[in-house]
Amino acid sequence: MKRVAIVQSNYLPWKGYFDLINLSDHFVLYDDVQFNKYNWRNRNRIKTPAGTQWITIPVIQKTLKQMIQDVQVADQTWRKKHWQAVVHNYSRAEYFREYRDFFEELFLGTTETYLSRVNYRFLKAICGLLGIRTEISFSGDYRLFGGRIERVVDLCSQLGVDEFLSGPTARPYINEPLFTAAGIKVVWMDYEGYPQHKQLFCPPFVHEVSIIDLILNEGADQSRKFLKSFGLDSKAAWCSKSDKLKG
C-alpha cells in the first residue's frame, strides 16, 4: 500500500505535522493554492515565560488571491529576530547546546526569498534530524485539473497511491466518494493522546508549539518516543486502525 498526504506548507510546524509526514510514503506541499496570512504558512509559536509567543515571517502579499508558491519574504531581518527569540527562551533547555549550531545555521545560513522554499528548508532539515525519510515534493510540480478536491484526487492518481492521509480539520471539505471512485481510501489522522514531554515554563504544558520545543527539550533521538509515527510495527499496522480514529 502506498500512502500520500497533501498539505499546505507550515513554518516550523508542531510535532503532529511531522507525524503526518512520517506516516506517508510521499508528502506533497500543496503550494499552488491561495495564501492566507492568518494561518500557519508563515508563523508558529514557541514557549516563553509569559506563555506562548508567535514568531512570524513578514511577507509581501500582492493580491488576496496570491498563491503560496508566489509569496515572497518582505525582508531578511526575521531570521535573526527568530533565532534570538529561540536563544532567549530555550537556552536553558537540556539539549540546546547540542543543537545550537544546527538551528543557528538553519535560521541564518540562507537568504531564500520565497516563503514556500523557506518552509521546505526547515522541513527537510528537521525531518533529517528526526530520521524521517519520506519523499517531499511540491504540488506546483504537477499538472492538476478540476476543482479543489478534484485536484487532490488527480494528484493522488498521478502518484499511484492507494491511500490519502488527511488531518481531521479537512473532514468538512473532503468528498470521500470522489476518492473511492478513483480507488483511493481516505485515512484520517488522529492528533489526540500525545504524551507530555519535558517543557520549560510549566505549567501549563502546551502541545501546540513548534517542533523545536520538543527537540531542544528532549533531543532528536528521544523526541521519536513522543511522536505517534515511531515505535510502530509498520505504517500499515497503524493505518488498519484508522476507521476507528476520532476526527
Q: How far is residue 179's CA from residue 10's CA, in Å, rounded to a whole number?
A: 25
Angle at 90 between CA 133 and CA 212, to 5 degrees: 20
Q: Which amino acid is at 165?
A: L
pLDDT tier at 137, thresholds 50, 70, 90: very high
Q: Which of 38, 41, 39 is nearest to 29 (CA)?
A: 41
What angle is formed at CA 46 by the lines to CA 102 and CA 219, rounded to 5 degrees? 40
**In whole angstroms, what is the distance from residue 92 CA to residue 88 CA?**
9
Q: What is the pTM of this model?
A: 0.91
Grade residue 41 by pLDDT with cuts at 50, 70 and 90.
very high
Three-class DSSP category at 105: helix
Q: Which is it for the CA torsion 71, 33, 169, 162, positive or negative? A: negative
Name every residue whose Cβ is closer than 8 Å to that of residue 176 and which is 6 or more positions away in sequence. Answer: 186
Task: Count how many residues are written for the chain.
Answer: 247
- pLDDT tens across 74-108, in order? 999 999 999 999 999 999 999 999 999 999 999 99
Domain boundaries, the chain: 3-240
Query: What would the pLDDT profile of 164-196 be if each residue is shown by its tens digit?
Result: 999 998 888 899 999 999 999 999 999 998 999
Q: How far apart are CA 130 and CA 239, in angstroms?
A: 21
